[in-house]
Amino acid sequence: MNKNDIAGIGKLSRYRLSEVLRKVRGGCITPKKVAQFLNVSRTQARTFLSSWAANGWLFRVRQGVY
């Protein structure tokens, strides 16, 4: 395990997730919000959300909502 990895999440992914959580300030997270906050495409945002959920860092409420 790399010293920058914490429970399966890398430093860059951890940074991205923290930015999203900081900007969302509670409530639901959607690919649209992630794309806006991180300045990435919605496709990339969906990939981030799916990965975070698969690793247990977020929970999917329903399709496209975390």
* pLDDT tens digits, 5-59: 455 678 999 999 999 999 998 789 999 999 999 999 999 999 999 999 998 999 9
List 9's β-bridge partners, or say none.
6
What integer pLDDT is reported at residue 21 of this predicted model?
93
What integer pLDDT is reported at residue 3 of this predicted model?
52
Residue 17 in contact with residue 10, Cβ under 8 Å? Answer: no
What does the alpha-carbon distance between residue 57 and residue 53 come to, in Å, rounded to a whole number?
6
Alpha-carbon dihedral angle through residues 41, 47, 48, 52, given to the nearest 10 degrees: 160
**Predicted structure pTM score:** 0.82
Residue 4: pLDDT above 70?
A: no
Residue 4 in contact with residue 11, Cβ under 8 Å? Answer: yes
